[in-house]
Amino acid sequence: MTKFRTLWWLEYRRSRVWAAALLGSLVFWAWGLEQVPYAMPEERFGIRAGLLGAGAIVGVVVLAFMIGRVRSETRQGQYQILLLTPPSGYLHVLARFAFALSVGIVYAVAIGALLWWAAARAGLHLDPASAAQLLLVCPLYGAGIAMAPLLAWTLLLMVLASAYRISGTAWIPGTVMVAATPFILRFLGERLSYVLYTLPGWRLFANLEAVLAKAKVEGTSEALHAGIVLPQEPLWGMLALAVAMLVLAGRIWQEVEA
Amino acid sequence: MTEAFLIVVRILLLCLLGYWGFRLWGGTRSWTSRAVSGLCIVVLVWQVVGGRF
């Protein structure tokens, strides 16, 4: 536990500027939401939701860059001695991943809060249960289904490339892995789609119909009126994939740096 | 003509992947790295030989 805390502190020291910049960018997105020109409330909400979607994508990309800085730090970085000493490779990888994911979850919850604010401005006043789902369930689901696998993939990519740095061929595993990933993802996606909704789904925003009727929103799809049902299977599948990639990254770190 | 061209492209891609596989096998002493790289190479070969792209 002490080793993990040390590595967590190391991550904090190394990535705090990135994390602060990412969380600070929320002010920019909040300012951007305020700049949306006057239009119909539904249109304004749509534009704001789109802006927040863009903010979420930018946040994940920034986190991926943050977690991927492996090579320069292990060889020329300020903490190279600490990086190459006793704690196991698994612990190094876990600390790096956990720090980035924590920052990402805080960022995602803040994006959810901004979406809640935008919905309220559009006259969509959610009940406490729905607000909690928007603030916690949706960001955590998004983190589990997209953020965690992407961060784990980035970590595996950079650790794999680092394993070839002595032979000077680091670009080959990087190229091969980037090229093969879409095909592997398509294969896994097809398998996941076969079992979709085998387990009971999670129903969110159960009273969405009442909220929409109260706000006099027209033109929404019938499916939305019954609420949104999130399938469990993609979440468990992508989390399992993230864990598998982290184990592989830790194993490679162990074999190369130990 | 187009089919012949595609066959040549596929053969060239297989040669490239074979060369990369050779470099990836000998470029590290980590067996897990070899396994991950090998998996990626196998997936790409599978796509080149029988893929849908």
Interval A13-64: pLDDT, tens: 888 888 999 999 999 988 988 888 767 777 888 888 899 999 999 998 999 8
Q: Is B45 part of any domain?
A: yes
Tell me which residues of chain B have a pLDDT lower than 70. 1, 52-53
Tell me which residue has tokens 């492996």.
A70
Return the pLDDT at A168.
Answer: 82
Q: Is B44 part of any domain?
A: yes
Q: Phi/psi at A230 (nearest 5 deg)?
A: -90, 130
**Distant-in-sequence, close-in-space partners of B43: CB < 8 Å, separation ≥ 6:** A180, A183, A184
For A68-103, the pLDDT digits (tens) are 876 656 555 555 555 555 668 888 899 999 999 999
Q: Is B39 part of any domain?
A: yes
Return the pLDDT at A120.
Answer: 85
Q: Is B7 part of any domain?
A: no
DSSP letter string, B10-33 = HHHHHHHHHHHHHHHHHS-S-HHH
Asked if the C-beta of A27 comes within 8 angstroms of chain B's C-beta atoms, the answer is no
Give the residue numbers spanning the domain of B34.
15-21+29-53
pLDDT value at A129 more than 90: no
DSSP H helical ranges for A143-221: 148-162, 171-194, 208-214
pLDDT value at A230 more than 70: yes
Report the distance separating Cα A185 and Cα A163, nearest Å: 24
Please answer yes or no on whether B33 and A256 come within 8 Å at the CB atom: yes
Under 8 Å between Cβ of A157 and A179: no
Ordered by start, the domain boundaries in chain A are: 2-257
Report the distance separating Cα B36 and Cα B47, nearest Å: 17
Site from A93, A156, A160 to mutate, B interface, most B CB atoms within 10 angstroms: A160
Q: Is B49 part of any domain?
A: yes
Total number of domains constituting chain B? 1
Please answer yes or no on whether A255 and B23 come within 8 Å at the CB atom: no
**Distant-in-sequence, close-in-space partners of A185: CB < 8 Å, separation ≥ 6:** none
Q: Which residues of A touch B40 (CB under 8 A)?
A: 173, 176-177, 179-180
Q: Phi/psi at A79 (nearest 5 deg)?
A: -110, 25
Q: Which residues of B touch A173 (CB under 8 A)?
A: 24, 27, 33, 36-37, 40
Report the distance separating Cα A168 and Cα A190, nearest Å: 36
Q: What percent of chain A has a predicted confidence (pLDDT) above 90? A: 42
Return the pLDDT at A123.
Answer: 78
Return the pLDDT at A250.
Answer: 92
Q: Which residues of A touch B46 (CB under 8 A)?
A: 183
Q: Is B53 part of any domain?
A: yes
Q: Is B42 part of any domain?
A: yes
* Nearest residue to B17 (alpha-carbon basis) of B53, B42, B34, B51: B42
Report the distance separating Cα B49 and Cα A55, nearest Å: 40
**Region A205-210: what's the mean pLDDT?**
74
